[in-house]
Amino acid sequence: MLYLFVQLNCIINICEAVKINRLHVPDVTKHGTEVTLDCDFTLDDSESDLVVKWYFNKSLVYQWIPSTKKRPQSLGVLKDRVNLEYQASVDANSIHRALRIIRPGPDLSGNYTCSVSTLESEDAKTKGMVVLVLKTLVRHLS
């Protein structure tokens, strides 16, 4: 079934080796409440040296290299603000694909890019997120 799906996907997309199917970044999120930015991707069995990265406003803030068997790293403005144990999937290549921000502040409003690359190919998608403090949120919703 999965094989068939992959084959069909190859025919339609001329076999893109790494592909981000869906980038889940909420448009608006609440200050201080844990938020998950997810990057659902698929890759071909033949691909090697997978690297998953997240950028905030073009700066690298998260990196995970599954083959090293090491924990993901959070960097820059997101250092010590990400739950590095968070598991977004049971798939070994996707376990730590998501960015789980523990206490987002208004300083984290901006553009988030998920980049997935292998030796053979890469894909990236970007979406903006606004972190609102409650006062602003009430105004925004009313």
Ligand X SMILES: *[C@@H]1O[C@H](CO)[C@@H](O)[C@H](O)[C@H]1NC(C)=O
Q: Number of residues in contact with ligand X, rule: CB under 6 A?
A: 7
The residue sitting closest to ligand X, measured at its beta carbon, is 110
Q: How far is the CB of 101 from ligand X (least distance, A)?
A: 14
125 within 8 A of 38, measured Cβ to Cβ: no
Dist. CA 101–CA 66, nearest whole Å? 20
Q: How far is the CB of 33 from ligand X (least distance, A)?
A: 19
Q: Which of 9, 110, 125, 137 binds ligand X (CB under 6 A)?
A: 110
Q: Which of 111, 133, 134, 140 binds ligand X (CB under 6 A)?
A: 111
| Binding pattern for the stretch 4-43 against ligand X, x by CB under 6 A and - elsewhere | ----------------------------------------
Q: Which residues of 94-107 are buried (b: 16+ CB within 10 A; e: fewer)?
A: bbbbbbbbeebeee
Dist. CA 52–CA 109, nearest whole Å? 21
Instruction: Specify the residue, 45 or 107, whose C-beta has the smaller distance to ligand X.
Output: 107
Instruction: Specify the residue, 87 or 111, whose C-beta has the smaller distance to ligand X.
Output: 111
Q: Which residues contact 46 (CB under 8 A, 6 or more apart)?
A: 17, 120
91 within 8 A of 43, measured Cβ to Cβ: no
Cα angle for residues 66, 69, 72 (degrees, 5° grid): 65
128 contacts ligand X (rule: CB under 6 A): yes
Binding site for ligand X (CB under 6 A): 57-58, 107, 109-111, 128
